Structure 1
Amino acid sequence: MRADILGLERRRRWSLDEKARLVAETLAPGASVSEVARRHDLAPSLLFAWRRLARVRASEPHPVFLPVQVTAEPAAAKPSPARRRRRKATGSIEIDLGSGRRLTVGADVDAAALARVLDVLERR
């Protein structure tokens, strides 16, 4: 099998500046996308795709940088054990009570309160 190179590659590379210039040309009053595409020897669909990308980029919020002043933070003393907050547990516990009844409680439920509730439910 033999392959011959018949000519130059047809695909062209367009810089962002060139794309922006061509899109701006299509947005001029009275301009036709097809006419601009014909003048620059490219497919109108390509110009429409570039216009769509330009609209998307224009609607994206631009990052805003704010001035920041970094200062040394005073060393914080460790809180006393009485002042430490209990870490909130995540998740839940599902208890099957039988006869199709289920009880779902948070993982941070008070164990004594849960025992009282289960005791009442067992008597029923």
Structure 2
Amino acid sequence: MGGEAVEIITGRERRRRWSVADKLRILAECDEPGAQISAVAARHGIYRSLVFQWRRQARDGLLVAEPVPGFVPVRLEPPEPPSPVEGASEAASAPVATSARRASPPPRPPAVIEIELPDGVRLRVGEEVGATALRRVLAALRG
């Protein structure tokens, strides 16, 4: 047997991908009263320089938490009555016979949702807009 060498790797040799949440949690630990950056870094198996790099990224706005979705108030209002068409003849506005009214109900007005965002932007969405499209629009307005 003889000249075989065994290399044991200990410490901080591995490369790990840290999530934004993990980075911010570690930075929060460093900001606690009495915390030492070297002790926090050692506890997580990282170099102090990496913590300082994350601090710089956070200070420069490059390392930020994902926005937490929240609820916004919703107010339902009855739909606005259709405005009369200008220049329409009086015959068109005459009352409809009772039997004709029972035969076909009047068309219902389209459903509309009005969303007012905290910054005052109002968004009116008809019922034909799908949930996926609405999510994309709201994400674009928030971003």
Taking structure 1 as the reference length, the TM-score comes to 0.40
Q: Which has the larger radius of gyration?
A: 1
